[in-house]
Amino acid sequence: MNPSAIHILVVDDEPDIRATVQEILEDENYFVVTAENGETARHALRDRRPDLILLDIWMPDLDGISLLKEWSEDQDGLPCPVIMMSGHGTVETAVEATRLGAYDFLEKPLSMAKLLLTVERALEADRLVKENVGLRRRTPLVHEPVGRSAVIARLREQVKRIALHDTWVLITGEAGSGRETFARFLHAQSPRRDRPFVDLGGAIIARGNAARELFGSEEDAHIHYGSLELAAGGTLLLDEVADMDMEAQTQLLAALDTGSFLRVGGKDPVPIDVRIVAATQRDLKEEVRLGRFREDLFYHLNVVPLHIPPLREHTEDVPDLLNYYVDYFAAHEKLAYRRFSVGAQNYLRNYAWPGNIRELKNLVQRILILGAGDEISQNEVESTLGTISPLPTLSLEGLVSFDQPLRQARELFEKAYLDYQLEKHNGNVSKMAKEAGMERTHLYRKLRSLGIEIKERR
């Protein structure tokens, strides 16, 4: 099967309709699976998560509306866009289907032209929703690494060559250097470009629920799809892979060895059809030597190594990066457009950039928010860098009011304390846990309960 083929499930009790719809869709290069009733449809969802479902309303064992309701009430909601089909539907039925989350409602006899158009629109709408979620989680998304230096030009060409071969890649580099950007660029240049790109951060899989996040789970008729299935046909980025605990490493290795996995609570193996890209800022060979990372998993992931240099090694790209982020924040966050003076650009080209490209992005954003005037001077840049670099000493003064319940005061203090530690350690949770005197798993749980985002600080 073509890894970029879109997977569609057709559920209808009439054999002629199933066969006709399957033939039409396969002529358009979709991968199609059919089911003749509700129970078979449930089994199909256990076999593999589809990208779209065409669902008949009137079926003998379980009607389509009941099946749609069952899926919509699941913890994760509908697994994908659902298009309802019916030969004698009513307005009330169509309204109910829409309320339960169906994308559209097609009347039988089916117009094949309308069917194909509706399928295309449903898939496009779903893609846009996922893109918007991604943009809300991390701004901005750079679709191609910015810069004209020989270093970045060479890396871009290297990634284009790697992308053509379906090998796994290990991306290394300092925090903020652009590892995720290159992973996304690799996906965009590959034959899998039209399929999902899923980013699973080490912060998520180190919380003690790695199996569920990676492999998903089954309970009765309810299925939670893990990242390996959400990325089916596409690319899975295991970000900060060195943060995975040993149990998660062992489970992942077993899945990679066999080419399949079991969902938590499941009985049937699910095949793996995904390109894995791992990324880390740590030296995995050293982690292996220290016994913190499995040597066999390291060799699985390190088929093709790709090192992203720190910004201080290609500072000639600083002007292009400054312009890119000014344009981005002006367009997407409606901040006033300003330009960096030649003196400011030269100063920043000679700056050490300990936080790499992420530090540069944050600098541009802060200057555009706080500053005024058409031109950004060197003095303004030096002043802003001076306010960014030092970390303030944590103080209770003005932070926590004593005229409130103890529980609320404690939560405010904990949030401020953990925010401070994240800034101090540049998002390195291992170092933060050591200083805070907490187990890493407990620390992840605490950060999550307080609504503190980890990844943006790395």
3-state DSSP assignment of residue 270: strand
Over the stretch 270-283, which tens digit does the pLDDT of each residue have?
Answer: 888 899 999 999 99
Name the burial class of residue 153, with classes exposed (0-12), middle (13-18) and buried (19+) by CB atoms within 10 angstroms of its CB.
middle
Residue 145 lies in a domain: no
Residue 58: which pLDDT band, with cuts at 50, 70 and 90?
A: confident
| Cα distances (angstroms) measured from residue 177 to each of 92, 103, 238, 385, 392 | 54, 40, 16, 18, 25
Residues 23 and 120 in one domain: yes
HSE-up of residue 30 (Cα within 13 Å, Cβ side) = 23
For the ranges 181-190, 235-244, 446-455, the lowest mean pLDDT is seen at: 446-455
Residue 398 lies in a domain: no
Query: Per the structure block, which two tokens stand in for 258?
Result: 């066999």
**Domain C-terminal end among 257, 288, 309:** 309
Residues 264 and 411 in one domain: no
Write out the residue range of the structural domain in which residue 342 sits. 312-388
Element (H, E) at 213: helix 210-215
How far separated are the first and last CA of the chain, in Å rounded?
38
Residue 87 included in any domain: yes
Do 110 and 161 reside in the same domain of the chain?
no
Q: Locate 442 and state its tokens.
A: 């407990």
pTM of the model: 0.71
Identify the band that residue 362 occupies on the pLDDT scale cut at 50, 70 and 90: very high
Q: What is the DSSP letter of 111?
A: -
Determine which helix (DSSP H) or strand (DSSP E) holds 261, and give its type and residue range.
strand 260-261
Q: For residue 427, give both structure tokens.
A: 């998002």
3-state secondary structure of 358: helix
Tokens standing for residue 348? 């920043």
Domain boundary among 136, 170, 199: 136
CB 107 within 8 A of CB 87: yes
Is the pLDDT assigned to residue 397 strictly greater than 80?
no
Same domain membership, residue 163 and residue 279: yes
> Are 279 and 169 within 8 A, CB to CB?
no
Q: What is the mean pLDDT of the chain?
A: 85
Q: Are residues 262 and 316 in the same domain?
A: no
Question: Could you give the 3-state DSSP secondary structure of residue 47?
Answer: helix
Is the pLDDT at 121 greater than 80? The verdict is yes
Same domain flag for 321 and 303: no
Asked if the structure places residue 440 within a domain, the reply is: yes
Report H helices in 259-377: 284-289, 295-301, 318-332, 342-349, 356-370
Least confident of 35-44, 140-149, 294-303: 140-149
Least confident segment among 101-105, 161-165, 421-425: 421-425
C-alpha–C-alpha distance, residues 108 and 324, integer Å: 51
Instruction: Clarify whether residues 212 and 295 are in a common domain.
Output: yes
If residue 164 lies in a helix (H) or strand (E), which one and from where to where? none
What's at 172, amino acid-wise? Answer: T
Does residue 38 sit within a domain?
yes
- For residue 21, give every residue at least 6 positions away whose Cβ sits within 8 Å of its Cβ, in sequence order, or none: 10, 12, 32, 54, 110, 115
Number of domains present in the structure of the chain: 4
**pLDDT exceeds 50 at position 458:** no
CATH of the domain at 33: 3.40.50.2300
Q: Which two tokens stand for residue 10?
A: 């057709």
Among the candidates 280, 309, 338, a domain finishes at 309
Q: Which CATH number does the domain housing residue 425 bear?
A: 1.10.10.60
Do 299 and 197 reside in the same domain of the chain? yes
CATH code (residue 334):
1.10.8.60
Using DSSP bridges, classify how beta strands 217-219 and 222-224 pair: parallel, antiparallel or unpaired. Answer: antiparallel
